Structure 1
């Protein structure tokens, strides 16, 4: 069973199975420039503007695509850090949900391996990051340990479907 193939052996398909090669090309074009017109994308993928619009609307309605503006943390002077958290097994969901409403938290994922939760955080300064980690994160019940890595130079930041080509 490949990544995103089936949800179980009864042959129910996941939402990702609704994404074909053309959809992935459309998504890649939007990742390069979220303001690219349907006509421009259509010329690239070989479809009409209306066909691209229809596919885009389907991808949005399925929750596969959401076009948003993404800031460059370094360019706007923010401090960007990745956090790895170890939590008590019974509290992974609770801790992850407690992180979600925090304004500084941009990304939260439960995971397996050396960490239970991985989060991405952006703060206005190193002092605010320190306060965020020591005062706000440490107050969340269930966290056993926090490790942080402050990013100093983003070498690659790509959201293209390279693995699916």
Structure 2
């Protein structure tokens, strides 16, 4: 079986998502907020990286950043190992509603910092929320709250539009 069959909850996330990332320090004070557009792609099961996510971030001051996350798939998990993160994602087997995906990752080169992420997709599939808990040396350092809305399931068409607009 392939990634879509083994991870049907994650497969519901395929597409383009617009959202807002809000960061809070351990005391609950907001320390950052920016807009996002994420491309969640499911490619050929035989590809070296059958899952590929690209995150486009935009801050109110005009700064932008693009982060690319190709991922391998095996053992019913998506696996990242790149210049930014090392970790994996899996579905929550005991979730009788089939809404939850969990991730664990750490920053490459910084073993003192690790993160757990929980993703909840709405039953209708058009919105999702995510929370990150950043832990450094066993202590909470940061929380990230992310709210997203599905823009399109057709990531290929939106990606082509973006490439055409870029010239």
Question: Which bin holds the TM-score, normalised by the shorter protein?
Answer: under 0.3
Which of the two has higher C-alpha Rg?
1
Which one has the bigger strand percentage?
2
Which one has the bigger helix percentage?
1
TM-score, L = length of structure 2: 0.27
